[in-house]
Amino acid sequence: MGRLDGKVALITGAGNGMGRVAAERFAGEGARIVVADYDEGLGAKTVATIEAAGGEAAFVKVDVSDSRDVDAMVTFSMQRFGALHVLYNNAGIFPADDGGATETPESTWERVMDVNLKGVWLGCKYGIPAMLESGGGSIINVASFVALMGAATAQIAYTASKGGVLSMTREIAVEYARQGIRANALCPGPIATPMLEDLMSDPARRQRRLVHIPMGRLGRAEELANAALFLASDESSFMTGSQLVVDGGITAAYVTPE
């Protein structure tokens, strides 16, 4: 018996990276998956992989910063599968020109906030009514370890957006705790995904991050998917308004030896 049998899970950014691995993991545990992504080709590949393994999935194109798209995404989920039990707000961006407070372009700040923070809010805005109609469920919002501490490399917009996700998750958790909806934030450290590998292609920049990780390596998408699975499942039924930190020890360390 799967840990998500009978549940419908909507995952944004499921065409690639952590979202895709989570979609496949959740499907393997019995969930029917709504694969939401802006890239139709990548989304279709995730669906095909799930179906090839015997799971059930459907793709919907979405720009999470667009309220009409997010509304349509949730409507699609309800029409296709008749319920929504797990909302995994995973989609996010980290532009290369997101740097210090004085150097980051205003347009970059606005775009990061639109996707990383507003996108999570829109997912909750339209997803919560569907979850209430479905009898409740679990919201998982992807924040970051940088929501808990300053980043070693300047990334002001990304850090601020993830701090907002963490605070918003707590408020949603309190508001809906007695209505059968749980909300928790997942706070990953650096995970080996295509987005991060691009950012860390510079050896010096890569080493500057690795030196702060007590385990001495990047996390794997599978490790984060397992943490998300716990939050999605009934195993975490008394957990809401919390952050689950999966960071290789970064936030526990004061000084990390080279």
pLDDT digits (tens, 9 = 90+) for 6-44: 999 999 999 999 999 999 999 999 999 999 999 999 999
The rounded distance, in Å, linking the Cα atoms of 90 and 119 is 9
Q: Model confidence at 208, in pLDDT bands (50, 70, 90)?
A: low
The rounded distance, in Å, linking the Cα atoms of 258 and 254 is 13
Query: What's the pLDDT at 213?
Result: 87
- So which residues are the catalytic ones? 158
User: For the chain, what is the mean pLDDT?
Assistant: 94
The CATH number of the domain holding residue 74 is 3.40.50.720
Query: What's the pLDDT at 205?
Result: 66
Is the confidence at residue 257, as pLDDT, over 90? no
Structural domain that includes position 179:
8-189+220-243
- Evaluate whether residue 151 is within a structural domain: yes
- Evaluate whether residue 1 is within a structural domain: no
The rounded distance, in Å, linking the Cα atoms of 44 and 37 is 9
- Evaluate whether residue 257 is within a structural domain: no
- Evaluate whether residue 139 is within a structural domain: yes
The rounded distance, in Å, linking the Cα atoms of 195 and 160 is 19
- Evaluate whether residue 196 is within a structural domain: no
- Evaluate whether residue 256 is within a structural domain: no
The tens digit of pLDDT for each residue in 212-248 reads 888 888 999 999 999 999 999 999 999 999 999 999 9
- Evaluate whether residue 248 is within a structural domain: no
**Domain count along the chain:** 1
pTM (2 d.p.) = 0.94
Query: What's the pLDDT at 211?
Result: 79
Report the pLDDT averaged over residues 192-202: 67
Query: What's the pLDDT at 48?
Result: 98
- Evaluate whether residue 205 is within a structural domain: no
The tens digit of pLDDT for each residue in 45-65 reads 999 999 999 999 999 999 999
Report the pLDDT averaged over residues 116-121: 98
Share of the chain above pLDDT 70, in %: 93
